[in-house]
Amino acid sequence: MREALFVKQNSEKWRAYEHSSATHPDEIADRFIEITNDLSYARTFYPKSKTTSYLNGLASTLHQSIYKNKKEDKNRFVNFWKYELPVLFYTYRMQLLYAFLFFIISASIGVLSAKYDDQFIRLILGDSYVNMTNENINKGDPFGVYKQTSEFPMFFSIAANNIYVSLLMFVSGIFLSIAPIFYLLQNGVMLGSFEYYFFSRGLGIESILVIWIHGTLEISAIIIAGAAGLVLGHGLLFPKTYTRFQAFKQSAKDGTKIALGIVPILLVAAFFEGFITRHTEMPVWLSTAILALSLIFIIWYVILYPLTLSKRNHAHKNV
């Protein structure tokens, strides 16, 4: 499409968004998604045009309407997880995809390394952990490590550690996104070798039914935290039509929102690990249900729901 036709088709809408303010969170979110879609199109086909610069400014204004509402809506807390965070997931869907691919590739490396090097598992997991788990397997309780500490101390220590690791992955993105990739690779290799360890001893399915009760949410949150780090570095690496400082400032805000937005997921994962995972004798249907519901929630909230918001915006646009 020629730029003149693109402007002609959308200029009336843009002027309306520029000169009339929206107050309802639904309408603000719809406007922001629509403008970012137009901006994405303009960046692709008219990267150095005045239209792209204009849409940058308009998107920035709408962004401020979402994140700096001076009226302090009484539902602000709810609206953050209902609208703001899903919008960010959609906006930075490529960073989420990259983080996921980095993690999956590194997990595969962990599996292959553990398969072809007998000492690799000990190198990654440590001699003490491997020896302890071997003893537990011999005792008939391979996942006894989850029963060694009482519920509340285990919950708090795991929650604190996972939140610290996730925030570290995010903040490290300031180093041009290199450090988050390193942490994703490190965690992926560890997970791959960890799972191979149990599969090689005939405990693969059991490990999934036990460990992934909490692991589904925990690993998903770690991947999202890595994506938040990529978002942080994205502004420095690819400022596009913004100044580098403006782009970094924007990416820092968005990355912070994502990193803090996954804290409840980490808390639920820590709760599962501290209070639920230790019950290794629970029925298979129950552990499967917990695992499946956790996975369904992540797929819906991080992928499907943000996509639905975007499609709803497009539907409104075509009416």
Domain edges within the chain: 3-73, 92-311
And the tokens for 311? Answer: 């499609």
CB 191 within 8 A of CB 226: no
Instruction: Give the tens place of pLDDT for each residue, 125-152.
Output: 999 999 999 999 999 999 999 998 899 9
Lowest-confidence segment of 60-74, 80-94, 114-128 by average pLDDT: 60-74
Instruction: Give the tens place of pLDDT for each residue, 262-286.
Output: 999 999 999 999 999 999 989 999 9
The whole-chain average pLDDT of the chain stands at 89
Alpha-carbon span 54 to 129, nearest angstrom: 57
Sign of CA dihedral 262, 266, 268, 269: positive
Instruction: Give the tens place of pLDDT for each residue, 207-262.
Output: 999 999 999 999 999 999 999 999 999 888 888 777 888 889 889 999 999 999 99
**pLDDT for position 49:** 85
Give residue 144's Cα distance to chain centre. 30
Contacts of 175 (CB under 8 A, 6+ apart): 233
> Which of these, 162, 275, 158, 301, lies nearest to 213 by C-alpha position?
275
Radius of gyration of the chain (CA): 23
Alpha-carbon span 267 to 79, nearest angstrom: 20
CB 188 within 8 A of CB 109: yes
- Whether residue 67 is predicted with pLDDT greater than 70 in this model: the reply is no
Alpha-carbon span 197 to 189, nearest angstrom: 12
> Which of these, 17, 3, 1, lies nearest to 317 by C-alpha position?
17
